[in-house]
Structure 1
Amino acid sequence: MFRLHRHDLRFPPVNQATPEGLLAVGGDLRPERLLEAYRHGIFPWYNEDDPILWWSPDPRAVLFPNKLHVARSLKKTLRSNVFTVTLDTCFRQIMEQCAGPRPQYPEGGTWITDDMRDAYTRLHELGYAHSVESWQEGILVGGLYGIAIGGAFFAESMFTRVDDASKVALVKLVQQLQAWNFRLIDCQQSSPHVMRFGAEEILRSDFINQLIEALRIPDRRGRWVFDEVSDAGRSERSG
């Protein structure tokens, strides 16, 4: 297993990962290393008592913004405007909610450690990490966060306290990313949840090629806000 050195930001080629996708161990979570990792299709994922583990799975789950699939029932929720969706208003709080106990993970998301929260909050302060928030009557009820580099968005985690709250946040985000000409949303590994939105599994080699092209697009750094545009013309497929 490749062990990272603190003063060397380089990662081994992703094709050296184990069949499960584990590529390297060690290093740190400073912004320079995290950005270097994401630019090469690598992300950290580890439990609280483990060393930092770096992954690049094959195949890779990817959602292309122009292939977003929105089910009819969710379209009805979107039209009802029951949720107000914002960008980058409470990044740290979104991470804390993603890490906390959730119905599907009653023991909590232990991989979002304090060190991870600090590191990604720093990326947020640098304009690379972003959050999407769903509000209902002024209360935060769902959301997600991720990293944006070039025309790629790397989705990290999401939570919901009310049915459809995080789904609405995701749809609004994908629609905005499409308007900004983002090429792909990295979902890392497939799950029934992301596949329902039109995500697909592609070979890691294909993902890396797509990522290289996406990174040719200039970074959209800084605090994000939604464009004031209508839903007309946004690409959705009926479900």
Structure 2
Amino acid sequence: MKFLQPFMIISMLFAFGNCAELFSSKDKDNNEELILAILAGTRCPSSAVTTPTTGTRYDFANCSGDANLALAGSGFQASNVTLSGGLVGTSNNSTIVTNASSLSNTGGNKKASIEIVYQLNSASSTISALLPATTSFGGPGFLIQPTKADKIADGNSSVFGDLTSTWASSVGQEKTLCLEVHEEGSGAHIFGWQGACSTVDRGTYQFEEEDVSVNLAGDRVALRINGATIKTLTIYNQSIGTAGSFR
């Protein structure tokens, strides 16, 4: 029966190809990447989390195979990243973005919540965490630097106006941040904490600003990885923060 195996594989690929014709060209590309990732056995391990709310944790430190295929198999589009003890990016052109909506609440105003475990490799390294983002990386978020995080609104970063928090340089060290954005009125409430989302004081923020003027057209989670390594990324299904304005 071994002589039948090549024909079976060809038949499977032909069937996948026919199914892909049902989608648009962009969707076709995404589905072809996913098919290749499955056939190649590439993956990034993921696990369900339940504390402080439900979500999914992606373990980039234990991805296997080609970075683009592994991420495609895990629900991300990637550009200019590699795998080496995590997801490594070298410039603002090193990016990932979720393929599907990543809001932490459905219905009503948009909310998005993540936990990110990372390492900055030099004093000039940064990570831009955008949520909720468009596929072209528009929207609100956080500019993560060695000693602080600033807010991002439509591509421009600035210090938080309500509460700010700084820390000792994290260059070369693993660090964890819990980050959240809520749509409020015509703007956004952008806030976060140092530490794992499961351990922070959900009613007191360490850096925040309310009523930030920003376009919230997107529903994805996106990262720009400039001279840094992402160890894990957790995307939550429910919001975390409990203080502040909730219009």
TM range (shorter): under 0.3
Q: Give the helix-richer structure, 1 or 2.
A: 1
**TM-score normalised to the size of structure 1?**
0.25
Q: Give the strand-richer structure, 1 or 2.
A: 2
